[in-house]
Every structure is written in structure tokens, then in C-alpha cells.
Amino acid sequence: MKMLNKKAIFYIPYEDGNDMNLDKKKIKHIEDYVVDELIKLGGGATVLEGVGYWRDAAGVKKKMDTKVILSYLKNYDNILDRIEKIGNYIKNETNSKEVCYELNDVSYFM
């Protein structure tokens, strides 16, 4: 029996930090990178289409289409560092003000 006791979820925004739509090829490139990295850590990943909602600093409700990628992972000593590296990649590639990812139901914002 194989046990994967860590769950990671990544959210890829469809817009950059200037509220401009990202090119579909760019989104696909980021998706492929995240999936490849997660497969190395666990063996598989699932990609879903999603919509995110939040309030900005001014209290205005925002909405954005996103890709949601989730995966169950092996327990590595430095798993949080590996997950953070993927989050940084998403943030840098999308030029986002903030990105979110989860590890074992704990949300991290960067």
C-alpha cells in the first residue's frame, strides 16, 4: 500500500498583478511546470477550473478565474520548502501581487 500523507493545492491566476489577462499559453506553461513538480513529489496531480473571490485592501470584492491544481504527496523533510519554491514560481511567472497555496489545509499567502 502506498501512503501519501500531504495534500498540496495551488491556484494559478488568470490575471497578472496589473489585472491584465494572462496569455493562455503562459497559463498552460505554468500549469505544466506545477504538475511536473508535483508528480515528482507524489505521483500525480489533478487540474480543475475555478473561480476565486476575495476583498482587496479597499474592501472591494474581486473575482478571478483560476486553475486549481491539487496533489497528494509523500512526506519529505523539506516539503514546505519544495512547495514554497513552486509558489514562488507561480508568483514570478504571473507577476502577481499575491498568490496562495495550501499544504495540509493550511493556506500560505506570498
| Of 3-7, 43-47, 102-106, minimum mean pLDDT range | 3-7
pLDDT of residue 3: 78
pTM for this one? 0.91
4-109: CATH class:
alpha beta
- Cα–Cα distances (Å) from 8 to 20, 41, 82, 88, in that order, read 27, 10, 11, 14
Instruction: Give the distance, in angstroms, between the CA of residue 82 and the centroid of all CA atoms in the same chain.
Output: 13
Reported as a pLDDT band with limits 50, 70 and 90, residue 5 is: confident
Domain locations in the chain? 4-109
Reported as a pLDDT band with limits 50, 70 and 90, residue 30 is: very high
Reported as a pLDDT band with limits 50, 70 and 90, residue 77 is: confident
Q: Where are the extended beta strands (E) located within 14-95?
A: 46-55, 61-73
Where do the H-state alpha helices sit in 15-78? 24-41
